[in-house]
Structure 1
Amino acid sequence: MQNSEPERKLSVARRAGLAQLAAAGVPSPGADADLISCHVLGISRAELKLRELRGDAFTAAQHTRYLDLLARRAARIPLQHLTGEGHFRYLTLKVGPGVFSPRPETETVVQLGLDFLREHGIQAPRCVDLCSGSGAIAAALASEVPHAQVWAVELSDDAIGYTRANCEPLGVTVLHRDATDLPEVLHGTMDLVISNPPYIPPNAVPREPEVRDHDPQMALYGLGEDGLQIPRAVAAQALRLLRPGGLFVMEHAEVQENAAAQLLREAGFAYVAGHPDLSSRPRSTSGRAPR
């Protein structure tokens, strides 16, 4: 019967959970089942594996909670909304309904900025994350670059609480305003601008239920027929913010590789280049502010 002692064993519960999530079409059923277990138990994945090997079990209450979260994940509610956490580079971020959940592919976008700062020996850089959402990019920069001054800019009333919660403890200055209209006092002062703006065209509705049904539309759709109306405005703002020679990196859809390069050139950037993510798909485009 449900919630019986054998079914509550961690190893047994994991196998049942994996099968349930796989049948629902969840892309990473094993990892998600593990992370739900860790959330219920309040432990790490390493500790979970140790407890599975020991033959440990959920309590009855923990198992009930585990089954409830599994059912909600099988309904394709994002895992981050169930746990309240999203992992990005070396950080655990607060996320939930109303904010775009950080994606692993965006980690490579941050790395481009970090590489630029290191290669040019910029010791105390000024950096800004436009359309910050959860604050993942800004928080990563602040946590990985000693002496950096970092700004995070987010317009959404729903997302800004997450931006502040993730960024302000790291010393990031959070601005609740339109990323395309920033104070002139910041113009010409930034070494690095990174943005993961809304860029999905209006007719390209995401197939994944987690994105289509749960990510805020404000964070997805870039407006205009090509989805690049907001990215164009963001690129123009980035050019105003950067000092001569500073770098702008913008994430985009893989099908927008050529359009993004053209967009940056038309905005006035030099040394425009495209960059793949870890799956070798076109993921971002960078440009340098002219000297």
Structure 2
Amino acid sequence: MNLLLAEVAQAAQRLAEAGVPSPRFDAEELAAYVHGVKRGQLHSVADGEFDARYWEAVARREAREPLQHITGRAFFRYLELQVGPGVFVPRPETESVVGWAIDAVRAMDVAEPVVVDLCTGSGAIALALAQEVPRSRVHAVELSEQALEWARKNVAGSKVDLRAGDALSAFPDLNGQVDLVVSNPPYIPLRERPLVAPEARDHDPELALFSGEDGLDAIRGIERTAHRLLRPGGVVVIEHADSQGGQVPWIFHEDAGWADAADHPDLNNRPRFTTARKAVP
């Protein structure tokens, strides 16, 4: 075993003792980042090339600073995104939400499907849709100025129409013209703040995490925004906590102008997102 691999093993132990959920992966990812290689190439780093800054990075992760803040990058589907303080770090569970949305847009018999991403954060969802469904026209909105700066960096050079503003009043120019609305809004109940992992509670912006006593305030508002934006037959896809499975479909009820509201599981088979179709008169 070379020096770096030995140090990675020690780092993984330290991270495990600190309660980091994926200590080995994080130790390897930090080593790869500091040494400018891929994780699968760590064995190629010669002993004389070991960089002591590795232990500085490990100490930051040990203190439960998000891995993505240390490396400055987050991976989402086929994207590598720039992230850091002030923006919500995209999570793997959201990939199943976007996968469903992409399949739905691809199946639409529309030449240029119009997609709106509400509460875009880093721009991950909007950019994934624009990249994987090139014929779509993707619009995104973000309220936080700090998050918006990260989103601008990520969507630069893409065709995503990124705007600053409140998701609840955004895109009046698109009323009744949108084919799909997608959102990963804040949905953690305020009462659950003490239960949130330190990486999120202490580093993700509160605006992206918490939403009222039951966590559903933002989703209730987005339901009305989605209904305003969508054409008849258009679809909404909205992420929620696994503990809210069964609750969110009731927000998209028939009396509010919706049809086919249903929950869907994430990659771990936990209820993760709701879809509904705007009723056709």
- Same fold by TM-score greater than 0.5: yes
RMSD between superposed Cα atoms in Å: 1.6
1:216 lines up with 2:205 in the alignment: yes
- 1:3 is aligned to none
Indicate yes or no: 2:254 matched with 1:260.
no
Distance 1:180 1:260 in 2: 17
| Gapped regions of structure 2 (runs ≥ 5) | none
Q: Is the 8 A contact 2:106 2:133 kept in 1?
A: no
- In 1, the alpha carbon distance for the partners of 2:110 and 2:123 equals 22
Residue in structure 2 matching 1:44, options 38, 41, 48? 38
Q: Following TM superposition, by how much is the alpha carbon of 1:67 offset from its aligned partner in structure 2, in angstroms?
A: 0.2
Q: CA deviation at 1:230?
A: 1.3
Structure 1 residue 187: Cα displacement: 0.7
Deviation at 1:236, TM superposition (A): 0.7
| Counterpart residue number, 2:7 | 13
Equivalent residue number for residue 153 of structure 2: 165
The amino acid of 1:222's aligned partner reads S
Distance 2:40 2:111 in 1: 36
CA distance in 1, matches of 2:276, 2:237: 7
Mapping for residues 91-130 of structure 1, pairs under 5 Å: 91-130=79-118
Instruction: Find the partner of 1:134 among 122, 142, 145.
Output: 122
Given candidates 169, 172, 177, the residue that maps to 2:165 is: 177
Contact 2:5/2:42, CA 8 A, preserved across alignment: no
Call closer, same or farther: CA 1:244–1:75 in 2, change over 3 Å: same
Q: Give, in whole Å, the separation in 2 of the partners of 1:193 and 1:177.
A: 16
Is residue 2:12 matched to residue 1:24? no
Structure 2 Cα separation of the partners of residues 39 and 287 of structure 1:
41
The offset of 1:255, in angstroms, is 1.4
Equivalent residue runs for 1:274-289 within 5 Å: 274-289=263-278
Give the match's secondary structure for 2:34.
Answer: helix
Pair 1:59 & 2:53 matched = no
Contact 1:77/1:210 (<8 A) preserved: yes
Residue in 1 that maps onto 2:72: 84
2: distance between equivalents of 1:216 and 1:182? Answer: 21
Q: Which consecutive unaligned segments of at least 5 residues does structure 1 have? A: 1-5
Query: What's the TM-score, normalizing by structure 1?
Result: 0.91
Q: Could you tell me which residue of structure 1 aligns to residue 28 of structure 2?
A: 34
Distance 1:195 1:58, change over 3 A: farther
Contact map agreement 1:10 1:58 (CA 8 A) in 2: no
The alpha-carbon deviation at position 140 of structure 1 amounts to 0.5
Q: CA deviation at 1:193?
A: 0.7
Q: How far off is 1:160 after superposition?
A: 0.5
Structure 1 position 58, deviation (Å) = 5.8
What's the CA shift string for 1:144-199, capped at 9, x where partnerless? Answer: 11121111110001110011111232211111000110232111111111000011
SS of aligned partner of 2:187: coil
Deviation at 1:115, TM superposition (A): 1.4
Deviations 1:189-227 (Å, cap 9, x if unpaired)?
11111000011111011431111111111100112x212
Aligned length: 278
SS where residue 269 of structure 2 aligns?
Answer: coil
